[in-house]
C-alpha cells in the first residue's frame, strides 16, 4: 500500500477551522503510525460514524488517487475502505479540507 500523503507538509485546501476539525486531527495523529490496508468488512463500515477522504492532486491538476479511511471502534486507528462500501452505507460528503 502506498503512503497516505506524498509529501510531509500537508496544508488545508481551505485554511479555516471546520465543524469536524477534531475528527480530521485524529486522522492526522494516526498517520505517522499508519500501516494502511484495505478492509472490505461491512462490520467496520456499518459502525463507522464518519469517513475521511484523501485526494491526491498536484498543482490543481487531475486527481491522481482518492482513498477513504474510517475510524475503528477506539477512534484512534483508521482502516482504509473502498468507495463502493461507503456508497452502500449511504455516506455523504460534509466538508473539504
Sheet holding 78-81: strands in order across?
A: 52-57, 63-71, 78-81
> In the structure, what pLDDT confidence band is assigned to residue 93 with cuts at 50, 70 and 90?
confident
pLDDT digits (tens, 9 = 90+) for 47-62: 788 888 888 877 778 8
Region of residue 58 (left: phi > 0; alpha: psi -120 to 50; beta: else) = beta
The three grid cell numbers given for residue 49, joined into one nine-digit string: 460514524
The pLDDT, as a whole number, for residue 30 is 85
> In the structure, what pLDDT confidence band is assigned to residue 38 with cuts at 50, 70 and 90?
low
Distance CA 44, CA 6 (A): 26
Amino acid at each position: 500500500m502506498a503512503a497516505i500523503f506524498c509529501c510531509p507538509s500537508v496544508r488545508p485546501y481551505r485554511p479555516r477551522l471546520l465543524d469536524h476539525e477534531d475528527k480530521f486531527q485524529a486522522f492526522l495523529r494516526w498517520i505517522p503510525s499508519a500501516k494502511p490496508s484495505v478492509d472490505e468488512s461491512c462490520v467496520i463500515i456499518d459502525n463507522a460514524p464518519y469517513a475521511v477522504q484523501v485526494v491526491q492532486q498536484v498543482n490543481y491538476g487531475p486527481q491522481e488517487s482518492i482513498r477513504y479511511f474510517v475510524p475503528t471502534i477506539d477512534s484512534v486507528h483508521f482502516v482504509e475502505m473502498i468507495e463502493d462500501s461507503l456508497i452502500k452505507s449511504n455516506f455523504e460528503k460534509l466538508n473539504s479540507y
